Amino acid sequence: MVKRLLASHLGQIPDLHPRIKASELEAYAVPLGTIARIIRSRACGNPGYVTSIGLGTFVDPRNTGGKLNSATTEDICEVINLDDQEFLRYKTMNFDACIIRASVGDTEGNLTLENESLYSDPLLMATATRASGGIVIAQVDRLAKAGSLRAADVRVPAPLVDAVVVVSEPEHRSMGLYTNGYDPSLSGDVLMPLDEMPPLSMSEKKIMGRRAAMELGNHVCNLGIGAPEFVANCAQEAGILDHVTLTTEAGLFGGLGSSGLNFGSAHNPQARIELSQQFDYYNARALDSAFLGAAEIDASTGDVNVSNLGTDRFIGPGGFIDITQSTRRVIFMGTFTKKGLRVSAKDGALSIDQEGSIPMFKPIREVTFSGARALAQGQDIKYVTERAVFELTPQGLELVEVAPGIDLDKDVLAHMDPKPIVRRDTIKEMDPRIFQEQPMDLQEDFFRMGKGFKQRFVVREESSTCLFDASGLAIRSMQAVNAFMDDVNAVLSTITKDGAKKLDCVASYEGSEISSSLLEPFLARAKEVHEKYFSSVRRLGGKSFARQEMARAMQLVPNASIWEDLAEDRSTLSRKEFKEGLEKTFGLQFTEREIIRILGTDSGPVARKAFDRLVARAWTRLLAR
C-alpha cells in the first residue's frame, strides 16, 4: 500500500523496516524541520524550500541525498548557489490526504487542541493538503455542537476539514503521543510537583547527565533523546533547573521534558507553539545550547552518526541536523563503549566493572553531524562520556578531561580509533562530585559560570542607573563570598572607570540564597563596593529571599512591601498603577509595549498573587533592552 516514505525518524514504524531493507518501497530520511517546511511550501504555493540545513551531511545530494535503499533513485533536493553561498533546494510535494489530531471537533469541523501535549502543525498540514486538492481527516476525543467552541480556541477552521472521527474507546484516547491516556501536566492544565520526583540512581547516564548539566547556563536549551534526557533530572537535583529554559523540537518551552514514547512533550510547559514555528526559532540561532546523543564519533574530524546503525533498523535524523547546525554550543553525549558496559562510582571516582563490546569512537557509517561545517560556523562543540570529555578543534577531537579512577591509556585511548589529540600536561580531572552518591549542588557554579558575569550588569546612561541581576545567587562559603565580590569589583571598576562615575544601583536577589553565617563578611565587602561605586543601592527580592535573615540585614525591599506601597489594602492594581509603580521602583520609564510584554493584552486588573512573577518579568524586560 505504501509506495514512498519521507520521514525524519523511523524508529516508531518498525513494520516498514523489512520493506525498506528489501527495497520494496522508496524511502527517504530528511531533517524534521525540512519536512515541516516542505509542507509549508505547498501550503504557501511556493516552488520549493531553500535551506542550508543538511549541507555536509548524508542528506546532501552529493552524498546519499537521504535515500535509504536502491529502489529510491529520484533526487528530492539539489544544491544551488545564491550570492556565492551553497544551499539545498527541496521540491514542493502534493498531498492527497492527511490525518491530524485534535481534542475537540464540532459538527461543522472546527478543531481545538486544548488537551493535546503538542501542536504538530495540524493547520499547516490541512492547508497544504487542501492546496493539493486532497482530503483532511481529524481524529478527536469529543464532538461538540456547531457554534459552541470559542473562536479563540479553534486552531483549525472547518473549511479545511473533510471528516471528523471520534475516538469512541476512552482507553484509546491519546494526547498526540505514542502512549494512550491523559496526563494534565503534559497539556499544562495542572503543575506536577517536580521537587517530589525520586532521585536518579547512580549509572553511566546519570554521570553523563551531571557532567553535561555543568555546561548549562541561564540558557534556552534543547535536550535530545536518550542520555540527554538525564540532563534535566540532574539539573533539577542540583537546584538549577528553574534558571534554565528547556525546549523540545515539537514546540514546547519550559518544564521538564518527557522521555521514552512520550519524548517531545513536557511536564509543566510554560508555552507551546507549532512544530514548524519551533524550527523557525531554532534555525534563527536562538538556542544557546543543545545536548544530543551520539552513536558513533570520528575522533579525527568530530563527525557524528546517529541516523544509521548498520542493522535492520532504520533510524533517521529527526531534528538532530536542524539543531546541531543552528546552535552555538552543542554537547554530544554517549557512553564510551556500548553493549555490555557496566560502571560504578564510589568516593568520587569511577570504576569500569565491565567494558562494552562496541566502541563509540571509530570511523562512522554516516555523517549526521559535520565537524568541518561546525568549525566553519564557529560553533563550540563538546563530547561528554562517562569517563572522558573532548572538545572539537581544527585538528580533530582533543581530550580535555578524564574521570578520577580511570587509566588514560587502558580505559580511554585503547578504545579509540583514530586517536584524539592528547596533551597530558593539560588534561583536567572531571569534577569528583559527579561520582558521589549525594546530590550535586551546582547553584554556586551556575551563578558564577552559567551566565557571563558581565551580562548581569546593565547601565542606563541617561539616568546613571545600574541594574544588577543577582538572581540565583548561592553563597555558602567564605571562598564564594570573596569570589563573588572580586567579580563584582572587576566589572564595576570598568563600568565606572574605577569609581570616577557614581551610579544608582537597583539589584535583584530573586531566587537567591546566602548562608546566615556569612552575614558579617558579605555585608562588609558589599559596603566597600557600595561606597566606591554607588550613590545609592536598592535591593529587591521575592518571597523566598525576603524570608532569609540576610535579607533583613541587607535592607531588602521585598515585593510585598512594594505592593503595600502601591495598593495599600486593595487586592488588585490597575494597569496604569502597576506601570507607575514599576517606574517608581526601578527609577526607569517603561514603554507601553514593554507593559504589554509584561502583562499581556488583557486589560483587566493586576492581582496580588501574580505580583512576584510580574516583577520578575519586568526585570527581564529591563535587562533585555
Q: What is the pLDDT of residue 451?
A: 47
- Asked whether 115 and 268 are in contact (CB, 8 A), the reply is no
Q: Is 345 exposed, middle or buried (0-12, 13-18, 19+ CB in 10 A)?
A: buried
Tell how far CA 379 is from the center of its chain. Answer: 17
Q: What is the pLDDT of residue 584?
A: 76
> Full-prediction pTM beyond 0.75?
no
Total residues found in the chain within this entry: 625
83-119 residue pLDDT tens: 889 999 999 999 999 999 999 999 999 999 988 888 9
Distances (CA, A) of 426 to 6, 349, 416, 493: 47, 20, 20, 32
- Which residue, 515, 508, 506, 469, is CA-closest to 588? 506
Q: What is the pLDDT of residue 572?
A: 87
Q: What is the pLDDT of residue 543?
A: 53
Neighbours of 202 (CB within 10 A): 16
335-383 residue pLDDT tens: 999 999 999 998 899 999 999 999 999 999 999 999 999 988 888 899 9
- Is omega for the bond preceding 558 within 30 degrees of 0, making it cis? no
Question: In sequence order, which ranges of 456-514 are alpha helices (DSSP H)?
Answer: 478-495
Q: What is the pLDDT of residue 389?
A: 98
Question: In sequence order, which ranges of 184-302 are alpha helices (DSSP H)?
Answer: 184-187, 204-213, 229-237, 275-283
- Which residue, 79, 13, 14, 16, is CA-closest to 52? 79
Question: DSSP labels for 338-395?
Answer: ESS-EEEEETTEEEEEE--SEESBS--SS-SB-HHHHHHTT-EEEEE-SSEEEEEETT
- Which residue, 431, 380, 384, 427, is CA-closest to 408? 427
Distances (CA, A) of 583 to 539, 540, 541, 586, 619: 15, 14, 16, 5, 11
Which parts of the chain sit beneath pLDDT 50? 449-451
CA distance 119 to 104: 14
Residues annotated as catalytic (active site), given as ranges: 249
CATH class of 199-435: alpha beta
Q: What is the pLDDT of residue 450?
A: 43
Q: What is the pLDDT of residue 370?
A: 97
- Strand segments, DSSP code E, in 560-605 are 572-573
- Asked whether 225 and 264 are in contact (CB, 8 A), the reply is no
Residue at grid coordinates 470559542: 150
Domain map (residue ranges) of the chain: 4-30+47-91, 199-435, 453-544, 558-624
Q: What is the pLDDT of residue 420?
A: 97
- The CATH code belonging to domain 453-544 is 3.30.750
